[in-house]
Structure 1
Amino acid sequence: MALTASGCDAPDWELSGIEQLPLPGGADLGDDPYEITAEFTDVLSLVPQSAVKVNDVAVGRVTRVNLAEDDWTARVTMRINRGVRLPADAVARLEQSSLLGEKYIQLAAPEPRPDTARPAPGARPAGAAHPVAAPAGPLTDGAHIPVERTNRNPEVEEVFGALSLLLNGGGIAQIKTITTELGRALGGNEPEARSLLRRLNTLVTSLDGNKAAITAALDGVNRLSATLATRRQSISTVLTGLSPGLKALERQRTALLTMLRSLDTLSAVAVTTVDKSKDDVIADLKALTPTLRALADSGRALPDSLQVLLTYPFTDEVLRGVRGDYLNVYLDIAAVPGTEIVPALTPPDENPPPAEDTPPAQDTPPGGNPPQGQGAAPPQGTAQGRSTTPGEGGARRSGTAPLPLPFPSAGRAG
């Protein structure tokens, strides 16, 4: 039966079957409902005139169920009261009113993700290049809900099939075996089981308290893995170069084992020797005690003695007589009056007191030379002139000058 009616004020509508007749007590669509579509992977036994609900309140009805253009999904067309406000990203679920009740479509706003907070419109999250766009407007006439935002509840047949698989396929038998074995294992071991549970609780609590450290360690391992990944070629080269060394160790394994056995024998002999000589070593150390105590009591004298011993026979006192490569000698030499000294020697005292055992100086000594007090000098090669023999007519003069040995020829006779 098909009826077609037209009028000036009423839209055209076509009655193709009795299922298009509105049921009493259905949803109030109002004077101007809007139409939306939704795609489902499986609509099961959904039929036209089924209810469309929001929060379990009927707000519309299904008008058409047909195959989508891809021939793999079902497209459901719905009419909803215009007074119902839903976001443009609403979701649709195919549900059932009771165990054997009718199918209907539940529309709802998308649930926010618990791990991320939705930023305010216009705000720019960290790292984002552009501000977050404001959410889409309300669901309007002609909107489409894709298959990604639709799902369905399991059917009663599916639940019974899974239950029959559990009952007949062995799930209960495995559970019985597990409970029986647990009972046997825990029987008589209740204190140990409680201790194990307490330790597990302590372990889990410690792990929970060190979440930050564990996370940091895992991040470090991740960075290490990334670094190793960038150096894969170097690691491969190192491993390739280790291969000859490992082969050489493999060839010398017998020699290495022999060496280790010899070391083991040597260590056993050394331990035996130490054990047998332990008493003698202790006795020797006790015998050395007085000597060591005497050395300790000597204090500073011992280092000073060692210092002198190392310089024997040339001690520090030798340095006063030895200068460089020559030996300083101090001589008293009697010179003939009139002897010239080169270089000239200046006496320490220009007017020394006359000696009691010295006769007066002669005015003119033999040979025509002036007296020693008037410019006379000691003989050549002398370091000091002194008249010590009576009758030589020279005045006593004293002076010192270092002369190297052997004596150099540095003067001439006057």
Structure 2
Amino acid sequence: MKRAVLLLPVLLLTGCSLYDTPLPGGAALGDHPYHVTVQFTDVLDLVPQSSVKVDDVAVGRVDRIDLGPDNKTALVDVLINGSVRLPANSGAQLGQSSLLGEKYVEITAPQQPTGRLADGSVITRDRTSRSPEIEEVLGALSLLLNGGDIGQIQNIVKELNAAMTGNEPQIRSFLSQVDNLVRDLDGQKDNVVKAIDAMNRLTTTLAGQRDNIATALDQLGPGLKVVTAQRDELTSMLNALDNLSSVAVDTINRSRDDLVGDLRQLQPVLQKLAETGSKLPTALEYLATYPFSDYAAGDVKGDYFNSDIRFNLDLSALLGPQSPIIGGG
């Protein structure tokens, strides 16, 4: 007790503070420690001389804590043992040794380490965080228990019991249908995957044609305006086409029997033409040089024939009025 009383005047006379006194059992800094500045948005009750740890091993201590120029950032200057190598992109967070224990700075390793922390390095605010305080946890738990969703669970259970009581067969049937649906979907899994792949390809194609689609949509507006302006003319045209189709159908219905009769009468003529076979082309060859054959024309090359040919296609003159083709008995 006397030592404590005597120590205080000594500290006051030398102008030192308690924060300048190293804590017993602290990390050994070695002969060449290096300074690293860590930026935090909130340092809670962190104080100088607190530990700096890596994987729960003390490797340094907090030297001083200052307020940044923006008045929103806490600058924590830490001293780290010179033999400890840390990546340049390391992170940092505020930890707590126990439920009510002291705060300390935990240096966290990045996923892809690069470089090395050196004297004067800075761990920026986007790479730092802090663990929740016990007061914050208890406050959130109190809010949850007093006015949160847990208080509504009893009401939800009561409503579910009221809704299901007496409806067991319907619920059982519904669950059975859901089970069948899931089973059918599982059986169609390959088709569903193919449909999703096809939809993905379609989406990719549409994305590639985005400019063309945008151009088509832009030009669709003027076209619709023209169609709207000519709506009356289009309606009149469609009505005229409807009248024309009605007249055409009526004409075909009325002339159906005559058309069938004409086709039946044409059948013997087509049959005779088919029976002539190759004789008809030969006869047409003789017709061009009638009354001379093509052989006679070949013997007098360089000369010519004067001919007067008349074709009479009146079948009634050839077959007579009593012919079955013309309409006789």
TM-score by length of 1: 0.52
Within 5 Å, give how 1:22-33 maps onto structure 2: 22-33=22-33
Contact 2:289 2:297 in 1 (8 A): no
Within 5 Å, give how 1:1-400 maps onto structure 2: 1=8, 3=10, 15-17=16-18, 19-112=19-112, 135-136=114-115, 138-156=116-134, 158=136, 164=143, 168=147, 188-197=173-182, 220-225=205-210, 235=215, 239=219, 243=222, 246-264=224-242, 266-267=244-245, 292-308=270-286, 316=294, 319-320=297-298
How far is 1:209 from its partner?
6.8
Contact 2:35 2:80 in 1 (8 A): yes
Taking structure 1 as reference, are residues 324 and 89 closer, same or farther at Cα in structure 2, changes over 3 Å only?
A: same
- For residue 5 of structure 2, what is the aligned residue in structure 1? none
CA distance in 2: counterparts of 1:274 and 1:296, whole angstroms: 29
Deviates more, 1:141-150 or 1:189-198: 189-198
CA distance in 2: counterparts of 1:166 and 1:270, whole angstroms: 84
CA distance in 1: counterparts of 2:62 and 2:25, whole angstroms: 15
How far is 1:107 from its partner?
0.7
Contact 1:56 1:106 in 2 (8 A): yes
CA distance in 2: counterparts of 1:293 and 1:172, whole angstroms: 99
Taking structure 1 as reference, are residues 81 and 326 closer, same or farther at Cα in structure 2, changes over 3 Å only?
A: closer
Aligned residues: 288
Instruction: In structure 1, give the amino acid aligned to 2:175.
Output: E
Instruction: In structure 2, give the amino acid aligned to 1:54.
Output: V
Instruction: In structure 2, give the amino acid aligned to 1:35.
Output: H
Q: What CA RMSD, in Å, does the superposition of the two structures yield over aligned residues?
A: 4.9
Contact 2:41 2:125 in 1 (8 A): yes
Q: Give a deviation string over 1:147-194, Cα, whole Å, max 9, x none.
A: 2322233445555666637974669869959x96x9999763334434
Q: Give a deviation string over 1:313-345, Cα, whole Å, max 9, x none.
A: 7864673587667559xxxxxxxxxxxxxxxxx
Q: Give a deviation string over 1:174-222, Cα, whole Å, max 9, x none.
A: 9959x96x99997633344345445666787667679987776655545
How far is 1:262 from its partner?
4.1
Q: Give a deviation string over 1:215-274, Cα, whole Å, max 9, x none.
A: 76655545434x559xx9xx59x839x73x544432321231233244345546656776
Q: Give a deviation string over 1:35-80, Cα, whole Å, max 9, x none.
A: 2211112222222232221112222222222201332200011122
CA distance in 2: counterparts of 1:191 and 1:4, whole angstroms: 82
Q: Give secondary structure in 2 for the equivalent of 1:78.
A: strand
Identity between Structure 1 and Structure 2 (%)? 42
Normalized per residue, which structure has more helix? 2
CA distance in 2: counterparts of 1:101 and 1:277, whole angstroms: 109
CA distance in 1: counterparts of 2:86 and 2:150, whole angstroms: 44
Contact 1:40 1:151 in 2 (8 A): yes
Taking structure 1 as reference, are residues 321 and 203 closer, same or farther at Cα in structure 2, changes over 3 Å only?
A: same
Taking structure 1 as reference, are residues 253 and 216 closer, same or farther at Cα in structure 2, changes over 3 Å only?
A: closer
CA distance in 1: counterparts of 2:145 and 2:261, whole angstroms: 86
CA distance in 1: counterparts of 2:183 and 2:226, whole angstroms: 53
CA distance in 2: counterparts of 1:274 and 1:157, whole angstroms: 96
CA distance in 2: counterparts of 1:310 and 1:172, whole angstroms: 113
Q: Give a deviation string over 1:343-400, Cα, whole Å, max 9, x none.
A: xxxxxxxxxxxxxxxxxxxxxxxxxxxxxxxxxxxxxxxxxxxxxxxxxxxxxxxxxx
Instruction: In structure 2, give the amino acid aligned to 1:46.
Output: L
Taking structure 1 as reference, are residues 140 and 323 closer, same or farther at Cα in structure 2, changes over 3 Å only?
A: closer
More relative contact order, 1 or 2 (CA 8 Å, 6+ apart): 2
Q: Give a deviation string over 1:59-108, Cα, whole Å, max 9, x none.
A: 22222222013322000111222232212222112233455544322112
Deviates more, 1:204-213 or 1:85-94: 204-213
Instruction: In structure 1, give the amino acid aligned to 2:85.
Output: R
Q: Give secondary structure in 1 for the equivalent of 2:36.
A: strand
Taking structure 1 as reference, are residues 326 and 294 closer, same or farther at Cα in structure 2, changes over 3 Å only?
A: closer
Contact 2:54 2:108 in 1 (8 A): yes
Q: What 5-or-longer segments of structure 2 have no aligned partner?
A: 1-7, 307-329
Taking structure 1 as reference, are residues 290 and 43 closer, same or farther at Cα in structure 2, changes over 3 Å only?
A: farther
CA distance in 2: counterparts of 1:83 and 1:20, whole angstroms: 23
Instruction: In structure 2, give the amino acid aligned to 1:305.
Output: A
Deviates more, 1:270-279 or 1:293-302: 270-279
Contact 1:38 1:145 in 2 (8 A): yes
CA distance in 1: counterparts of 2:262 and 2:102, whole angstroms: 108
Q: Give secondary structure in 2 for the equivalent of 1:94.
A: strand
Taking structure 1 as reference, are residues 320 and 23 closer, same or farther at Cα in structure 2, changes over 3 Å only?
A: closer
Contact 2:34 2:81 in 1 (8 A): yes
Q: Give secondary structure in 2 for the equivalent of 1:15.
A: coil
